[in-house]
Structure 1
Amino acid sequence: MGAILAVMAGFPVCAQSLQERVPTCFECHGEKGQSQLPEVPSLGAQPALYTLVELVMFRDKLRLTEPMNQQTVGLSDGDLRALSDMIAKLPAPEPISDTPDPARMDRGRALAQANRCNFCHQSNYQGVENVPRLAGQREDYLLKSLRAYKDNTRRGYDAQMSEVVYAMKDDDLVDLAYFLARLK
């Protein structure tokens, strides 16, 4: 919790409701923004604009995911901006520390190149502006998200992801998530 409070100390005082909610955010997303819970994304070093858009979508129920919809009720645009700025300053998540399977890494890398993932997510998959960081993200969350884009159950502000993964087989999605989760 100390890391969160230290980061928040650098921000102007936010609405009390935001200050009260921040510890709850990191119960699921991890103290330093690195989730330890299945299918819960790590938030550390996500671009502020991307996070802001996602938070607004949760608050306005344009993206339905509990408990996020409930956690953002009553937060102002300024609160969400302060929270997204704070998240962007958290350290990037550490990638999975296992010894990667070279064949799976090669398949994942080839899929990322063939589908031009780096065009939007940048060459190092760090994300930029309203495009999320993928490097070091939880593998299970990446796979869940890719599958949701493929079957069009994850709606967003850009249909491009659904178009990119539409023709991919599930084994491809598995290998792509494996590769991205192990990047620094």
Structure 2
Amino acid sequence: MVAERNCGACHGERGVSAMPSIPSLAGQQREFIALQLVLFREGLRDVPAMQAPADGLTDQDVEDLGAYFAALPHAPPPDRAPQDAAAYAGGEALANQLRCGVCHLPSLAGQNQVPHIAGQREEYLAEELKAYRDSRRHGTDTQMNGVVQGLSDAQIEQIAHYVSQR
């Protein structure tokens, strides 16, 4: 199924993306991947690049893809930027203030339908957080939109840096 849908072309052959703004899927929550694929398939999440790969997926395909990526070992992207101590500390303080660890767990490894965000691509995290803040993206609820409401681009970039370095 992974080869048939050509998932590795963007998300990496072993689920670790080497492409800017494309998320890594290795070690992601099985339930989260399945949910996102259903949202893509049903046209409820608008990501044009995912429309064709999700088109025609059966419920079993969705479950199988979720299980496949969840079973792959999580790894940081090969081109991860070096840690910036000030940005990391600022992002850590903001993540604690916003209580990211409540839903994503203290390790930021996620749970069930809440994604594993630790070690994710930094630019992807920043783009998604800005999309939540600006109401261009919604999860299955509006909780993320509310959490990041009012954050500046600089604050979001600090959070993204911190999370990507975990």
Range into which the TM-score falls when normalised by the shorter chain: over 0.9
**1:99, CA displacement in angstroms?**
3.7
The structure-2 alpha-carbon separation of the partners of 1:105 and 1:19, relative to structure 1 and needing over 3 Å to count, comes to closer
Residues 128-177 of structure 1 show CA distances to partners (whole Å, capped at 9, x for unaligned) of: 10000111100010001000000011122111000000021111001000
Backbone CA RMSD of aligned residues? 1.3
Q: How does 1:1-184 map to 2 (within 5 A)?
A: 18=1, 20-22=3-5, 24-94=6-76, 98-183=81-166
**TM-score, normalised to structure 1's length?**
0.86
**1:34, CA displacement in angstroms?**
0.6
**Aligned letter for 1:155?**
H
**TM-score, normalised to structure 2's length?**
0.95
Percent of paired sites with the same residue: 37
Rg larger in 1 or in 2? 1
- Whether contact under 8 Å (2:11, 2:17) holds in the other structure is yes
The structure-2 alpha-carbon separation of the partners of 1:93 and 1:175, relative to structure 1 and needing over 3 Å to count, comes to same
CA distance in 2, matches of 1:82, 1:178: 31
SS at 2:113 equivalent: coil
Residue in structure 2 matched with residue 5 of structure 1 by the alignment: none
CA distance in 1, matches of 2:3, 2:26: 20
| Residues matched between the structures, number | 165
**1:98, CA displacement in angstroms?**
4.5
**1:59, CA displacement in angstroms?**
0.3
The structure-2 alpha-carbon separation of the partners of 1:20 and 1:94, relative to structure 1 and needing over 3 Å to count, comes to closer
- Whether contact under 8 Å (2:30, 2:66) holds in the other structure is yes
